[in-house]
Chains A and B, each alone.
Chain A
Amino acid sequence: MEPLIKVRNLTKDYRLIKKREGVTGGLVDLIRPRKELLRAVEKVSFDIPAGEMVGYIGANGAGKSTTIKMLTGILTPTAGTVTVGGLVPWKQRLQYTRHIGVVFGQRTQLWWDLAVVESFRLLKKIYEVDDATYDRQMKLFDDLLEVGQYLHQPVRKLSLGQRMRCDLAAALLHRPRVLFLDEPTIGLDVLAKENVRIFLREICEREGVTVILTTHDLGDIEQLCKRVIIIDKGRVHFDGELDNLRRRVGRRVRMTVELRDSATSGELAAITAGLPVTWDEVQGLRHHAEFNRVEVPGAEVIKRLVNECHVLDLHMAEQGIDEVVREIYRQSGREAS
């Protein structure tokens, strides 16, 4: 079966001008700028079949947004090809953009000063959505996202969570076949994040939309995507099932324990002897340990600690996407050398 999205050796260089300092430097820059080439994306290739939801993740500056911008036709790549359903995004822009929806978490796609409903009406006209579809979509968005209550407020007056819901609705108004989401949950509180995720799952099941999602939040990936592509320094470091990623990286957690009486890291290590737990050097009454949940059940560590010491407080944090990426990057670096 032919994949819907085909990306081959996609590469993007940015030409940066390195500014010299001071007024004389500025003048010299005018005549002979120091140009530097920065490779943001290097030979990225992947296929995505229709209806799949893929997480595209990486640390800041890894090349995620640049890739998304090439896939949506905003940027023209330096080299390589992209076809989505046979169209080249940056060449057949007018035809292509009718069938995609895009949400940038950092920036709204709506008209800042207009009431939300005015933005929707304008989009209806631009994408030539017929009245019946428009009404059906608006009802769907009101049921799932409760956008009805903000319709008459100007976009600039909405909270981030409200604005994100409206942005999602706006991106899906014309029933696109492909949806690109760049950090759709950034800056949202736990509840708002959950709402966005539930909505995305629902809409993708109903409409069979193909989704590419970039995020910093492992929770987004866990709840939405089966497949993950990890990018770092512009290159793909992992492309596969989320379960595979888990097996490779495990589930590393960082535990913070507050004890009534301070203990040395040696003493603590003795308590967890036999378990692969590493204790940091002690600072005050807080003690930090790291272990892999796949290897060590958290309950076992807690049980031993509570038995041996007077525990005042305890906190466990799952590692974020940055650490997963670093771990994958470390592993692939080791394989390469």
Chain B
Amino acid sequence: MKETEINWTDLPQKNRMERTVWQAGIFAAYFAQFVKMRLAYRMDFFVDTLAVSFSMVIQLAVLSTLFSKVKALDGWSFEQVLFIYAFSLLPLGLFNLVSVNLYRFSDQYIIQGKFDRVLLRPVGTLAQVIFESFNVSGLNEILLGIVMMTYAGMKLGLDFGVQEILMLAVLAPSASLVYMGVFLAITSVSFWHEDRMGLAPPVYNIIRFSRYPITIYSLPIRIFLTFVLPFAWVAFFPATWFLGSEEFGRLALLTPLVGLVVFGGSVLIWQRGVRNYASTGS
């Protein structure tokens, strides 16, 4: 006698905590697979590491040249600017680490139809896409950011106690949620409009604006970076908290909220997009 009804609940029911642990386990497995895959192409891995280290050296050289000419910027000292710049590398590194697949989403997942496979697995779609690939050079950015921040912090005589470290642990990931949110919204557009070029590269270039104190820009750009494309929250506002700025430091405390709102809104757009997914012909 064959079963006529599927017992859909024959799997262990999980509470929220168990679900989170299960999902974390899956993503750890994805990450382990990614590392294995990279090691399988050993030469690739080697060349990549070399290239990233080289680009770090260049970045440092450019910065020191730049700051050797400029002593202060609109009332911000060289060390302060350096600190803000250094801070910006933490959320950027975190974002780069997990965003590779958002960058190539339209091409690989929509146009080549890889998204079909994603939809067939009993795991959240966004999490699968993000965790299927990583960009290890993000770790280099984080490392560089920490080294530069320590240097600038020491020069400025900032004390870094437990409170500061905790704040860093909250603010840096929150700031990277702003990046994630913005690029996730752009990525989600490809559910409606297949476009290989995409909006991402021009927006990616705007990130550069966010590495400097926004007070150096004109009012329209400041408004734009605070409210429209809120990149002021990824470095300037949170970094000024550590610099003890009265004026902007308080805004830093809003960073987690901004991060959650921007990212949460984009997740909603993504979910609508998934329902609109049209797959490929075959």
User: Which A positions have Cβ atoms within 8 angstroms of B?
Assistant: 1-2, 4, 14, 49-51, 65, 69, 72-76, 84-87, 90, 93-100, 102, 104, 106-107, 109, 111, 113-114, 118, 121-122, 125-128, 154, 177-178, 208
Q: Is B77 an interface residue (CB 8 A)?
A: no
* Shortest Cβ distance from residue A153 to the other chain B in the assembled complex, whole angstroms: 12
Set of chain B residues within 8 Å of A69, measured between Cβ atoms? 116, 279
Q: Is A94 in contact with B122, judged by CB distance below 8 angstroms?
A: yes
Q: Is A122 in contact with B2, judged by CB distance below 8 angstroms?
A: no
Set of chain A residues within 8 Å of B78, measured between Cβ atoms? none
Would you give the 0/1 interface string for B95-133, flagging 1 where the beta carbon is closer than 8 Å to chain A? 000000000000000000100110111111000000000
Q: Is A95 in contact with B8, judged by CB distance below 8 angstroms?
A: yes
29 residue pairs from A and B, CB less than 8 Å apart = A1-B4, A4-B5, A4-B6, A50-B5, A65-B281, A72-B119, A74-B119, A75-B277, A75-B278, A86-B6, A86-B8, A93-B119, A94-B122, A94-B124, A97-B122, A102-B120, A104-B116, A106-B282, A107-B113, A107-B282, A109-B117, A113-B37, A113-B40, A114-B36, A122-B30, A125-B26, A128-B11, A128-B12, A177-B6
Q: Is B122 in contact with A95, judged by CB distance below 8 angstroms?
A: yes
Q: Is B120 in contact with A98, judged by CB distance below 8 angstroms?
A: no
Q: Is B37 in contact with A50, judged by CB distance below 8 angstroms?
A: no
CA distance A121 to B122 in the complex (A): 15
Beyond A65-B282, A109-B117, whether A126 also contacts B2 by CB under 8 A is: no
Set of chain A residues within 8 Å of B113, measured between Cβ atoms? 107
Q: Is the interface of B mostly helix, strand, loop or mixed?
A: loop
Interface positions, chain B 8-25, Cβ under 8 Å from A, are 8, 11-12, 22, 25
Q: Is A126 in contact with B121, judged by CB distance below 8 angstroms?
A: yes
CA distance A65 to B123 in the complex (A): 23
Q: Is B275 an interface residue (CB 8 A)?
A: yes
Q: Is A126 in contact with B119, judged by CB distance below 8 angstroms?
A: no
Q: Is A128 in contact with B2, judged by CB distance below 8 angstroms?
A: no
Other A-B contacts than A85-B8, A107-B117, 13 sampled, CB-CB below 8 A, are A72-B119, A73-B119, A74-B120, A87-B8, A97-B121, A97-B122, A99-B8, A109-B120, A111-B33, A125-B26, A126-B26, A126-B121, A126-B122
Number of interface residues of B (CB under 8 A): 33
Q: Is B29 an interface residue (CB 8 A)?
A: yes
Interface positions, chain B 24-47, Cβ under 8 Å from A, are 25-26, 29-30, 33, 36-37, 40
Set of chain A residues within 8 Å of B5, measured between Cβ atoms? 2, 4, 50, 85-86
Q: Is B3 an interface residue (CB 8 A)?
A: yes
CA distance A50 to B5 in the complex (A): 8
* Shortest Cβ distance from residue A182 to the other chain B in the assembled complex, whole angstroms: 8
Set of chain A residues within 8 Å of B6, measured between Cβ atoms? 4, 50, 84-86, 99, 177-178
User: Which B positions have Cβ atoms within 8 angstroms of A?
Assistant: 2-6, 8, 11-12, 22, 25-26, 29-30, 33, 36-37, 40, 113, 116-117, 119-124, 275-279, 281-282
* Shortest Cβ distance from residue A317 to the other chain B in the assembled complex, whole angstroms: 26
Set of chain B residues within 8 Å of A113, measured between Cβ atoms? 37, 40
Set of chain A residues within 8 Å of B12, measured between Cβ atoms? 128
CA distance A97 to B277 in the complex (A): 17
Q: Is A208 in contact with B119, judged by CB distance below 8 angstroms?
A: no
Set of chain B residues within 8 Å of A107, measured between Cβ atoms? 113, 116-117, 282
- Cross-interface CB contact of A75 among B4, B26, B279, B281, cutoff 8 Å: B279
CA distance A126 to B201 in the complex (A): 34
* Shortest Cβ distance from residue A332 to the other chain B in the assembled complex, whole angstroms: 25
CA distance A325 to B26 in the complex (A): 45
Set of chain B residues within 8 Å of A109, measured between Cβ atoms? 117, 120
Set of chain B residues within 8 Å of A94, measured between Cβ atoms? 122-124
The closest CB in chain B to the CB of A128 belongs to B11
Q: Is B275 in contact with A90, judged by CB distance below 8 angstroms?
A: yes
CA distance A330 to B120 in the complex (A): 37
The closest CB in chain A to the CB of B30 belongs to A122
CA distance A96 to B29 in the complex (A): 23
Set of chain B residues within 8 Å of A93, measured between Cβ atoms? 119, 122
CA distance A266 to B278 in the complex (A): 54
CA distance A96 to B121 in the complex (A): 9
Q: Is A127 in contact with B122, judged by CB distance below 8 angstroms?
A: yes
The closest CB in chain A to the CB of B28 belongs to A125
CA distance A103 to B123 in the complex (A): 18
Q: Is A118 in contact with B36, judged by CB distance below 8 angstroms?
A: yes
Set of chain B residues within 8 Å of A122, measured between Cβ atoms? 29-30, 33
Set of chain A residues within 8 Å of B29, measured between Cβ atoms? 121-122, 125
- Cross-interface CB contact of B278 among A14, A100, A104, A208, cutoff 8 Å: A14
The closest CB in chain A to the CB of B10 belongs to A99
CA distance A2 to B3 in the complex (A): 11
* Shortest Cβ distance from residue A164 to the other chain B in the assembled complex, whole angstroms: 16
- Most central of A2, A51, A74, A118 by chain B CB within 10 Å: A74
Beyond A75-B277, A95-B8, A98-B11, whether A114 also contacts B3 by CB under 8 A is: no
Q: Is A2 in contact with B278, judged by CB distance below 8 angstroms?
A: no
